[in-house]
Structure 1
Amino acid sequence: MDMETNATPVQTAAQPPKKTRRVGTVAFALVLVVAGILLIVYQLVPGFDLMSIVKFSPALLVVLGIELLAYSAKPDVKVKYDWLAMLGTAFILCVVGTAAVLPTFWNQYGPDRELAASRMEEEKISQFYTAMAADPAVKARIDNAYAGVCFNHATSENSYTLESGDRCQLNLTFSGEYADATAFAADCMSVMRTAEQAGLGFTRYEFSTSNEMDNANTYGLTCDAAFPTGLTTEQLAQRVWTSYHYDGSSFSSESERDDYIREQMRGEIIDEYQNSHDFENPSEEYVEEEINRRMTENDSIATPESAQM
């Protein structure tokens, strides 16, 4: 008689469900605690450098990485990213970063900085005119002068002083006509030496002559304060730019101005000749001779420097 064997199925133990861990929650909690403490200290402690602490914000990436490694190493843990916590972390960092940067931005571009620069500009010009009393001849030729101050350094205080890298420029216009660039450079040199001896702290100079006079040369010079050191007046004059004026027009060279004058004379000579010779055209030789004669007669206009010779 065959005996039937009943096979009993083997039951396997049910695996417990995995625990869910959200990466970013711990970092968000740390940010809330640390940010709160920093903002309280920032409000209560004068001069607290919050920016130096904000620079270590990338350490949050390390915290997130440690969270991810710790949870991933456990087989019974299911890892998810807490995106809401991460967005909250980013927002808190933006708030703290703004609080750290705002004072620097305010001191750099705020009205206090502009008022301090304006006040210093007025003081510099007042001190400059006082110092120029030592050279009354040059002072009498000054038509206009103003200073331009720009603070390029960052400061967390409301007191502004000139420091290395800041700009303090003197812009000055001389009146009257100069014989040549060397005479103009001599006055510029005198101004720069006087300002240096008075310790006015100008870092750059911009000189020019008034261009209100027609048919006169105007001069200009722009240089850093240290540039004239060791130079003679003649050497400094080589840095001077000259603008030649005639009949309301400005020219970059004397030859360019004279060519303009010659062309004007050419048209006038041809018109005069035609009117007196029944519209007959003059010869080129006649026109050139007449131009040269008139240029010689009006030498003081064609070459203003000759009037001083």
Structure 2
Amino acid sequence: MDEQTTPKKTRRVGTLAFALVLILAGVLLMLYQLVPGFDLLWILRFSPAILIVLGIELLFYSSKPDAKVRFDWLSMLGCAFILCIVGTAAVLPTVWNLWGPEREHAASRIESEKVAGIYNALTGDPALKSRVANAHVKVWISHAASDSYALQAGDECALYLSFTAEYDSDEAFAADCQAVVQAADANGLGFTTYYFSSCDDLQEGTRYTLDCNAAFPVGLTAAQLAGRVEKEYYYDGSAFSTEADRDSYIRAQLENEIEQEYEATHDGESATREYLDSEVARRFAALNGTATPETAAA
């Protein structure tokens, strides 16, 4: 007679892990409701423990000769689903604090207050205030939510200010920038960064810019601060990074203009290089206000 074998029992790996995840998720959600400031992301930090539990289950059932091991895929999917639900619940408050409408409204309110504040701060210097073309403020709130969203350490508050004046030197522009910084500091406006510029709609001439952290101008003279000033050179609405680039552009434009004039008055004949060079030099000097009686008469 054949010896009958005992049928093996099916053991599903994953059921215990799913049960533990359900219990842990319930406990953490309860603590999240009852304990202020409780970090719900703990369940995500310890999610690798699920793999440990699955491994223990697999080893335990595999060691039994009468057990037939199968993975409980439905339970494993349930674990992943619970982790996604709890993780989403943990992340949503952070996302709301960073991009929610309350934070945006608070930033907009602070920006309006700061713009009014800088104009009030310049009231004591009417000449300087009259040279201001435009001022606006940008605020970035990075701290956690509060009742008022008042600016705190780590937040950014930048002033963008442009002047109407056309300055004749780096130092003159830097002096106005420094006066604005000092006025803002004296009135406790708390700007963290400054972005200054002259003549935003400039067509011809030199445009000055100065970007600096609020602490940088402290203790410097206007002449020292001028070393940080950057310039752009404009001609006919086009911007150039150096005077040499601008002058080359002007000379090329003049040469093309002179050549066309010469051909129109000489039956299509081209002008000589000597004539072009001398005429370009004369007109370029006239444009820059340096024409001499000799070049003007040429």
Matches within 5 A, 1:1-309: 14-153=4-143, 155-157=144-146, 159-270=148-259, 283-300=272-289
Q: SS at 2:205's partner residue?
A: coil
Structure 2 unaligned residues grouped into runs of 5+: 292-298
Q: One-letter code of the match for 1:214?
A: Q
Q: SS at 1:238's partner residue?
A: helix
- 1:117 deviates by 1.3
The 1-side partners of 2:231 and 2:107 are apart by: 32
User: Given that residues 104 and 156 in structure 1 are in contact (C-alpha distance below 8 angstroms), is that contact kept between their aligned partners in structure 2?
Assistant: no
Match of 1:307 in 2: none
Moved more, 252-261 or 170-179: 252-261
User: Given that residues 137 and 157 in structure 2 are in contact (C-alpha distance below 8 angstroms), is that contact kept between their aligned partners in structure 1?
Assistant: yes
User: Given that residues 202 and 237 in structure 2 are in contact (C-alpha distance below 8 angstroms), is that contact kept between their aligned partners in structure 1?
Assistant: no
The 2-side partners of 1:138 and 1:25 are apart by: 75
Identical aligned residues as a percent: 55
User: Given that residues 219 and 242 in structure 1 are in contact (C-alpha distance below 8 angstroms), is that contact kept between their aligned partners in structure 2?
Assistant: yes
User: Given that residues 112 and 158 in structure 1 are in contact (C-alpha distance below 8 angstroms), is that contact kept between their aligned partners in structure 2?
Assistant: no
Deviation digits for residues 44-81 of structure 1, max 9, x if unmatched?
54433212344222222222222222222323322221
User: Given that residues 150 and 168 in structure 1 are in contact (C-alpha distance below 8 angstroms), is that contact kept between their aligned partners in structure 2?
Assistant: yes
The 2-side partners of 1:286 and 1:249 are apart by: 27
Deviation digits for residues 117-141 of structure 1, max 9, x if unmatched?
1111112212222222233322221
- 1:279 deviates by 6.2
Deviation digits for residues 145-195 of structure 1, max 9, x if unmatched?
111111234x25454233443321111110121112221111112212222
Moved more, 54-63 or 36-45: 36-45
What TM-score, normalized to structure 2? 0.84
User: Given that residues 43 and 86 in structure 2 are in contact (C-alpha distance below 8 angstroms), is that contact kept between their aligned partners in structure 1?
Assistant: no
Moved more, 279-288 or 253-262: 279-288
What TM-score, normalized to structure 1? 0.82
User: Given that residues 107 and 158 in structure 1 are in contact (C-alpha distance below 8 angstroms), is that contact kept between their aligned partners in structure 2?
Assistant: no
* CA 1:183–1:79: 2 relative to 1, 3 Å: same
* CA 1:268–1:70: 2 relative to 1, 3 Å: closer
Moved more, 88-97 or 287-296: 287-296
The 1-side partners of 2:64 and 2:268 are apart by: 111
Q: One-letter code of the match for 1:64?
A: L
- 1:36 deviates by 2.4
The structure with the larger Rg is 1
Deviation digits for residues 199-218 of structure 1, max 9, x if unmatched?
32222111111243433221
User: Given that residues 25 and 43 in structure 2 are in contact (C-alpha distance below 8 angstroms), is that contact kept between their aligned partners in structure 1?
Assistant: no
User: Given that residues 71 and 79 in structure 1 are in contact (C-alpha distance below 8 angstroms), is that contact kept between their aligned partners in structure 2?
Assistant: yes
Q: One-letter code of the match for 2:111?
A: E
The 1-side partners of 2:32 and 2:142 are apart by: 25
The 1-side partners of 2:85 and 2:19 are apart by: 16
Question: Aligned-residue CA RMSD in angstroms?
Answer: 2.8
* CA 1:26–1:158: 2 relative to 1, 3 Å: farther
The 2-side partners of 1:105 and 1:300 are apart by: 60
